[in-house]
Amino acid sequence: MARFIEVDGMSDPTLHHEAVRLAGEDAQVAKALHKALDKHHDATVQRFSRASDASTLGAMWDEALRQGEIPGAYWALLTHRTLTPELRQRAFGEVHMLSHLVGASNRADIRRLVALEGDNVDLRDKLDHQTIRVQQLVEERDAVSAELNRHVVADAERRRREVADPVPVVDATALLSKLANQTARRERTESDAAEARREVTRLQDELERLRLHAAALDTELAAAESQLRAINDAETDAPEARAPCLLGQRILYVGGRPSSTPAIRDLVLRHGGEFQHHDGGIEDRKGLLESAVGWAELVMFPVDCIDHDSAGRLKRLCMKLGTTYVPLRTASVASFAAVITDAIGKPAAARFPSPWEEFAPRHA
């Protein structure tokens, strides 16, 4: 994508959506992306090319799905000459449902973060112990080598004095054997220490990733708790709970899950806003999306629960109409509450970013 746009400082989700948008508008970009994906997944594309009908193609897709080889198989399937609309819809639905499994793993990730921190401490202690042991073995090797040198010098001296006497070699042979054993032990210890250092580096990288994930979860959890306290304050007629922060602002929520949309609607209404929902084109007609965007002052959509076409079309509509839009990390109520909570206390003009701020620097 660096051949077509400025990518420095751009987040992964923004780069991803921008690539999808440009591919739909510019044939040169689409051709370049198609070529890059073919090259990246060449082995899988070649394997899928042997399928001569939709039935065989579907069986190969099912096998790839069971083995967890999703990205290459998904690309090979969608670009295959025998792909049918029914098989394409089934594959899209199966890949889409995989995103719903991400939320269920959050608690397991946090537990694993704690376990990894403990493992990291243990590995550091093991590395320190291995380092000390390596130093001890080096000192022992040097001592044995020095002792061997002394014996070699003494043997040479005896040879010069007693040429006719046989040269004893038993002691030197034993020392050489001991030196070989010490050298082998040192090499094994150094190998173990190097492996421990690589494991520490890997665990530190994973620990940092999980810390960032936990920080995002903490922010959303704090926002959810803040909204729960606001509900409790409202039920007890607390004065601070009666001050709306949205002040009649019209909010359009696109995509998401049916189970969380009612709670999001209640949250907007409780803060004094107006609310509309569009599912992105699953049951609601996509033709209604433009009129809904024209009604809204703020458009919000979860990036994990909306298809690429709807997300790209929605962003283009917002750009065209000058409507502010905010992508949400997930379709959870907590992600929505985090944005609303962040807006509380800010001036009306600074609550949400302008849709032009993200694109103006790259197209200036």
Q: Are residues 145 and 175 in the same domain?
A: yes
Clarify whether residues 266 and 216 are in a common domain: no
Same domain? For 250 and 199 the reply is no
Residue 273 located in a structural domain: yes
Q: Clarify whether residues 250 and 343 are in a common domain.
A: yes
Residue 348 lies in a domain: yes
Would 6 be classed as within a structural domain?
no
Q: Are 87 and 137 found together in one domain?
A: no
The enclosing H or E element of 301 equals strand 298-302
Contact call for residues 255 and 350 (beta carbons, < 8 A): no
Which residues, including other chains, have CB under 8 Å from residue 152's CB and lie 6 or more apart?
A: 172
- Residue 353: band (very low, low, confident or very high) from pLDDT cuts 50, 70, 90: low
Supply the range of the domain harboring residue 207: 106-233
Indicate whether 189 and 205 sit together in one domain.
Answer: yes
Is pLDDT at 243 greater than 50 in this prediction? no
User: What digits encode the pLDDT tens for the residues 61-71?
Assistant: 999 989 888 89
| Tokens coding 171 | 């002691």
Whether residue 190 lies inside any domain: the answer is yes
Residue 329 lies in a domain: yes
**Which of 51, 79, 103 is the C-terminal boundary of a domain?**
103
- Regarding beta strands 274-278 and 250-254, do their DSSP bridges make them parallel or antiparallel, or are they unpaired? parallel
Of the listed ranges 114-118, 177-181, 281-285, the one predicted with least confidence? 281-285
Write the CA distances from 237 to 182, 231, 248, 315, integer angstroms.
Answer: 79, 10, 21, 39
Give residue 207's region: left, alpha or beta (phi > 0; psi -120 to 50): alpha
Residue 295's domain is classified under what CATH number?
3.40.50.10700
Reported as a single tens digit per residue, the pLDDT across 29-86 is: 999 999 999 999 999 999 999 999 999 999 999 999 898 888 999 999 999 999 999 9
The whole-number pLDDT of residue 248 equals 79
User: Is residue 92 domain-shared with residue 151, that is, in the same domain?
Assistant: no
Q: Which residue blocks in the chain are alpha helix, DSSP H?
A: 12-25, 27-40, 42-48, 54-67, 70-78, 85-98, 100-104, 106-161, 170-235, 261-270, 288-295, 308-321, 333-343, 360-363
- 334 and 301 share one domain: yes
Tell whether the model's pLDDT for residue 355 goes beyond 80: no
Asked which of 207, 233, 259 is the last residue of a domain, the reply is 233
Does the residue 2 lie in any domain? no
Q: What is the pLDDT of residue 170?
A: 55
In this predicted structure, the answer to whether residue 120 has a pLDDT above a threshold of 50 is yes
Among the listed residues 106, 102, 195, 131, the one whose alpha carbon sits nearest the alpha carbon of residue 203: 195
- Residue 99: inside a domain, yes or no? yes
- Report, as an integer, the average pLDDT of 190-200: 90
pLDDT, tens digit, 9 for 90 and up, residues 270-329 = 888 999 998 877 666 767 888 889 999 999 999 988 888 888 888 999 999 999 999 998
Mean pLDDT in the chain? Answer: 82
pLDDT band of 252, cuts 50, 70, 90: very high
Find the CATH number of the domain harbouring 118. Answer: 1.10.287
- State pLDDT tens for residues 144-156: 989 988 888 888 8
pLDDT of residue 351: 54
- Examine residue 114 and state whether it is found in any structural domain, yes or no: yes
Q: Are residues 55 and 110 in the same domain?
A: no
**Higher-pLDDT residue of 238, 231:** 231
CA 294 to chain centre: 34
pLDDT exceeds 80 at position 93: yes
Q: Are residues 221 and 129 in the same domain?
A: yes
Single-letter residue type at 339: V
Per the structure, the count of domains in the chain is: 3
Same domain, yes or no: 134 and 76: no
- How far apart, in whole angstroms, are the C-alpha atoms of residue 21 and residue 309? 8
The band of 175, judged by pLDDT with boundaries at 50, 70 and 90, is: confident
pLDDT of residue 232: 55
**CB burial of residue 164 (10 Å; 0-12, 13-18, 19+):** exposed
Domain final residue pick, 79, 103, 127: 103
In this predicted structure, the answer to whether residue 362 has a pLDDT above a threshold of 60 is no
